[in-house]
């Protein structure tokens, strides 16, 4: 397959674009700016809220809509919400009860990007390390949060029994996504990064073969299905490595920048 016609570059953020300190390496920044200079548009596709990636949108001067909260919310560069997919309210209170029963404290993301909790938990530190702002409210069981919830997350490892329990209970009913060692998200079945990318590509007239995707986690696989060029960083999950056309260096070794110069800009 020839990749001379890439017009859109879509990249995951943590574990792919940023290093392990959640900082943007200069080499990656340089490669992305060169893409923009050559009229290749850029979309960030992340499990994070728009507020936590806004600095990147501003720094790079990105014009395209951005994919946030695992594909459940598409946001314009001026922070306006273009579209969102909420969790079916009939599951909302049940999921929260299940997470609490498993000894954890749930985080609830709303369509407007706010991430809420009502009981502090030590594992929230994983979110704060990636510059995610968490807001404390009195009770996340409140109906007003139920109506605009797009993502319920819990910070647990894959080995946690709660991971297995939630998967067995909601498989086929909801989207269950792991996007890092501690990040486990529950969303509507239609809320995927791939569906969000497809929506944007159709609106702006990008063909599949004109799209390159870089990622590292399970939630990036749906984007691979919507792209002509699939690149995984070396620190990716095994399934992602197998699905990629090419594997580049680790996120902390500027794998994204190296892949852009080698496979997209051909420098």
Whether residue 54 lies inside any domain: the answer is yes
pTM, 2 dp: 0.93
Whether residue 215 lies inside any domain: the answer is yes
Cβ(222)–Cβ(21) under 8 Å?
no
Whether residue 183 lies inside any domain: the answer is yes
Whether residue 239 lies inside any domain: the answer is yes
User: 108 and 40: one domain?
Assistant: no
DSSP 255: H
User: 207 and 77: one domain?
Assistant: yes
User: 80 and 98: one domain?
Assistant: no
- Spatial CB neighbours of 243, under 8 Å, sequence gap ≥ 6: 221, 224, 230, 232
Return the CATH number at 71. 3.40.50.1000
Residue that is last in its domain, among 187, 202, 217: 187
How many domains does the chain divide into? 2
Bridge partners (DSSP) of residue 171 are: 174
Q: What pLDDT digit, counting tens, does each position of 197-247 carry? A: 999 999 999 999 999 999 999 999 999 999 999 999 999 999 999 999 999
Q: Residue 139's domain spans which residues?
A: 89-187
User: 43 and 166: one domain?
Assistant: no
Q: What pLDDT digit, counting tens, does each position of 13-60 carry? A: 999 999 999 999 999 999 999 999 999 999 999 999 999 999 999 999
Between the alpha carbon of residue 38 and those of residues 8, 42, 64, 215, 249, the distances in Å are 11, 11, 15, 22, 23
Return the CATH number at 101. 3.30.1240.10
């Amino acid at each position: 397959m020839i990749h001379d016609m890439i017009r859109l570059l879509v990249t995951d953020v943590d574990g792919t674009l940023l290093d392990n300190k959640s900082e943007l390496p200069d080499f990656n920044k340089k490669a992305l700016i060169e893409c923009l200079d050559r009229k290749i548009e850029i979309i960030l596709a992340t499990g994070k809220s728009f507020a936590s990636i806004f600095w990147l949108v501003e720094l790079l001067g990105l014009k395209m809509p951005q994919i946030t909260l695992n594909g459940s919310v598409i946001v314009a560069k001026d922070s306006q919400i273009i579209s969102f997919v909420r969790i079916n309210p009939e599951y909302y209170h049940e999921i929260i009860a299940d997470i609490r029963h498993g000894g954890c404290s749930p985080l609830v993301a709303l369509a407007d990007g706010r991430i809420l909790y009502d009981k502090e938990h030590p594992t929230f530190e994983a979110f704060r390390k990636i510059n995610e702002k968490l807001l404390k409210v009195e009770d996340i069981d409140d109906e007003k949060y139920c109506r605009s919830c797009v993502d319920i997350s819990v910070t647990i490892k894959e080995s946690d029994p709660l991971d297995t329990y939630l998967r067995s209970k909601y498989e086929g009913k909801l989207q269950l996504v792991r996007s890092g060692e501690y990040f486990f998200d529950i969303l509507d079945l239609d809320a995927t990064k791939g569906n969000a990318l497809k929506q944007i590509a159709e609106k702006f007239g990008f063909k599949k073969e004109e799209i390159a995707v870089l990622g590292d986690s399970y939630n990036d696989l749906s984007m691979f299905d919507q792209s002509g060029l699939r690149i995984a960083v070396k620190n990716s999950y095994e399934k992602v490595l197998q699905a990629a056309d090419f594997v580049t260096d680790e996120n902390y070794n500027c794998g994204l920048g190296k892949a852009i110069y080698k496979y997209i800009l051909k420098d």
